[in-house]
Amino acid sequence: MTSTDPVSALGTNGAGPGPSRAQLEYVVDLDAIAHNTGVLREHAGSAGIMAVVKADAYNHGAAAVSRAVLASGASELGVTTIGEALALRNAGITAPILAWLHQLDADYDAAIVGDVEIGVSSPRHLARVVAAARRVGRPAAVTLKIDTGLNRNGVAPDEWEATVIAAARASAEGAIEVRGAFTHLSHADEPGHPTIDLQKTAFDAALDGLRRAGLKPARVHMANSAATLTRPDLRYDMVRPGISVYGFSPVPQLGTFGLRPAMTVRAQVILVKRVRAGEGVSYGHLWTAERDTTVALIPMGYADGLPRTLSGRFEVQLGGRRRRAIGRVCMDQFVVDLGENEDGVEEGDDAYVFGNGDHGEPSAQAWADALDTITYEIVCGIKGRTTRSIVGGGTVAGAPGGNGR
């Protein structure tokens, strides 16, 4: 197409030809990540911060988020798999990284070579790690994960003693260095729940066992976001927050704690049309126009992480105010009622689906509440054709349209 082509000339908000903005994107604001790390710093006191960047930093982009948190007060990173940790090493990140969920025959050799700390959850795991360390000819950095009641990952109580004995032996032999010990809470998001104190008691007893065996891990940690923000007595040497780094309250009923959501989802209006009174909209005509109205088509659907069960139950910010999404959410699109469209919403305008509220848009918390789930699942669920751009923190990457501010 040439620049005189009427189609391309009318491409983007009438701005003329040129690279077009993504029609569906989410913006991750590293300044918000840095702000949230600062909030957590205040709550951590003298304890260090291990920022949890598993699952591609809760879908925010692990490498960029890691750099931002390390520059703003975190000293270590936590991930689930060795693969996630090695990807961060490949991205040039040198801070300590702990990975804590492994199949028995995980690539411990690569973890040791890549200087990744290995979370160990059973004597079988430990034996594999020790074998890898002997093969590689370097000590493995090990953090013992203690199950104090979650009954999920972590060394079970009846295997704790055997694990400690084996760890002490491997440590004396120089095959491993026991750098840390940690546990994870089952009810941290219900402050005051009796299991929290029970888990602390069990953790302290397990730590005593470690010390009696001559092991003195330098980093002991327990607190996820909820405990970091509500239980200063559980800080130990380091706290281990995840969701709060991304700006969401781990205990929404207690407020936002001054955290700022880092993710904003935005889509372009791709079509505006009139619908007459009595006509239905989208599959099954779940919604019928009571009077003549104008509707806007937004190119986001369940393939992009907008749950179909939200049909008719959410709003977007468009043309300076909140608008109701109407009818069925489809695989690729949904429809918004503009009413008389007094604000003159046009094709190419931005619809803010959720974000930090800077443009008046709802929070992902609204989706979580409507769906009876948690913000973790909402932000991790954004996918499909939604492109990610990263702003703030001195870096702007892949955002030809800027962040819309």
Ligand X SMILES: *Cc1c(COP(=O)(O)O)cnc(C)c1O
Annotated binding site: 152, 331
* Coarse DSSP helix, strand, coil percentages of the chain, rounded to the nearest 5 percent: 35, 20, 45
Question: Of the listed 58, 108, 236, 283, which one is catalytic?
Answer: 283
Q: Are 77 and 51 in contact (CB under 8 A)?
A: yes
224 lies in the binding site for ligand X (CB under 6 A): yes
Give the CA diameter of the chain. Answer: 81
Active site residue 352: no
* Binds ligand X by CB under 6 A, chosen from 225, 317, 386, 389: 225
282 lies in the binding site for ligand X (CB under 6 A): no
Q: Is 55 helix (H, G, I), strand (E, B) or coil?
A: helix
Residue number, 154 or 362, with CB nearest to ligand X: 154
Q: Which amino acid belongs to residue 355? A: G
Residue number, 60 or 240, with CB nearest to ligand X: 240
Residue 235 makes CB contacts below 8 A (sequence gap 6+) with 44, 45, 47, 223, 228
Strand partners, 239: 49
> Nearest-CA neighbor of 400 among 58, 34, 6, 12?
12
Residue number, 78 or 319, with CB nearest to ligand X: 78
Q: Which amino acid belongs to residue 113? A: V
Active site residue 376: no
Interface with ligand X (CB under 6 A), residue total 12
Smallest separation (angstroms) from ligand X to the CB of 60: 12
184 lies in the binding site for ligand X (CB under 6 A): yes
Question: Of the listed 26, 54, 145, 200, which one is catalytic?
Answer: 54
Known binding-site residues for substrate equal 152, 331
Q: Which amino acid belongs to residue 157? A: P
x/- letters, 238..267, toward ligand X (CB under 6 A): --xxxxx-----x-----------------
E strand or H helix at 263:
strand 263-268
Smallest separation (angstroms) from ligand X to the CB of 380: 11
Q: Is 377 helix (H, G, I), strand (E, B) or coil?
A: helix
Smallest separation (angstroms) from ligand X to the CB of 133: 23
> Nearest-CA neighbor of 349 among 359, 363, 340?
359
Q: What phi, psi does 57 have (nearest 5°)?
A: 55, 55
Smallest separation (angstroms) from ligand X to the CB of 244: 6
Smallest separation (angstroms) from ligand X to the CB of 82: 15
Q: Which residue is nearest to ligand X (CB)?
A: 242
Smallest separation (angstroms) from ligand X to the CB of 158: 21
Smallest separation (angstroms) from ligand X to the CB of 231: 12
Give, as one character, the DSSP assignment of residue 386.
P
Q: Are 88 and 115 in contact (CB under 8 A)?
A: no
> Would you call 6 exposed, middle or buried from its count of C-beta atoms within 10 A (0-12, 13-18, 19+)?
exposed
Say which residue the tokens 């069925």 belong to.
328
Q: Which of residues 128-147 bind ligand X (CB under 6 A)?
A: none
Q: Which amino acid belongs to residue 1? A: M
Q: Are 349 and 323 in contact (CB under 8 A)?
A: no
> Nearest-CA neighbor of 123 among 87, 163, 175?
163
52 lies in the binding site for ligand X (CB under 6 A): yes
Residue number, 240 or 266, with CB nearest to ligand X: 240
Residue number, 213 or 238, with CB nearest to ligand X: 238
Strand partners, 193: none
E strand or H helix at 239:
strand 238-239
Binding site for ligand X (CB under 6 A): 52, 54, 100, 184, 224-225, 240-244, 250
Catalytic residue annotation:
54, 283
